[in-house]
Amino acid sequence: MSSVLVTGGAGFIGSHLCEALLSQGARITCLDDLSTGRVGNVAHLLAEPGFAFVQGDVADPGIWDRLPAARRVFHLASPASPEDYQAAPVQTIRTNVVGTLNALGFARTHQARVLLTSTSEVYGDPAVHPQTEDYWGHVNPVGPRSCYDEGKRCAEALMMAHARQHGTQVRVARLFNTYGPRLRPDDGRVVNTFIACALRGEPLPLHGDGRQTRSFCYVSDTVRGLIALMDNEQTVGPINLGNPQEVSMRTLAGEVLRLTGCTAGVRQLPARPEDPRCRQPDIRLARRWLDWQPEVPLQQGLIQAIEWFRAQDALGPDRRMPQGQAMAESSARS
């Protein structure tokens, strides 16, 4: 592997991906506008000779002209938590549509392979369980989650259209609830919300009856899957990457309380609007085509995430790099 561009590379998954690619000897350009990513996620990589950070918006066509050529493009840029994308719905759609078009244009110019991180949210509130890649989904196109759900669905359509029209090598990964170190405690995703509340000794917020289910995949497993999909020499269409162990929110809350030693219990809250009732990936295609399946059990992953969150209490709030300094880092390394 040689030159690689990672959009959203200062985000939760993106920063772990950058680390893994660097360990394989790749030269990384990390592009992130820091709207939801954090410089602290990649600060330890800035001194690496094979790593360059560029602060910029994937929907800005001008930023792409200033990026070095790459043979691989991992396109992760997008808000991913409900709080983030519902606070900026227009920007979320723009990132997923215009940003994906820009990434595809860049890939075509440099004859690069491009991988999109899509989401299990393309299945909406599914009528098929577990979810297989050939299921078209059950999504409200005008609901409160539509900016993300439909943004990703459109991004997938753009990837496949570009492949058909221009011969671009594309890969699409549908991710299911990745968790682990570097999740922001305040972004509203359930694992980090539960852990942060438990470590503060506060009741865990449980929406609805708590019987809604998710399938949680530890970040190292997700990253392995992304790299395996990028390296796969056949375009096989979208592939689910997730842990098929299905867990209810009430069970997850109990496990976090047990592992943290918190005795505050839970507090009941109204159900979230259009919150999917179930989520479980069918990963037969990933096993067959990528020889991939998750390795980290939920309890082990939760323990590692809890340890990381505990350590953050002593570190203080993350500080974002000022615009000028970010571009200076980019110029020095690109």
Residues serving a catalytic function are 148
DSSP string, 286-310: HHHHH-----S-HHHHHHHHHHHHH
Cα gap 285→303, rounded to integer Å: 29
Q: CB-based burial of residue 187 (10 Å sphere; 0-12 exposed, 13-18 middle, 19+ buried)? A: middle
The structure tokens 């179930």 sit at 278
First to last CA, the chain: 18
DSSP string, 56-95: --TT-HHHHTTSPP-SEEEE--S--SHHHHHHSHHHHHHH
51-55 and 72-75 beta bridge pairing: unpaired
Cα gap 207→269, rounded to integer Å: 5
Cα gap 58→264, rounded to integer Å: 42
213-215 and 246-248 beta bridge pairing: antiparallel
Cα gap 36→16, rounded to integer Å: 15
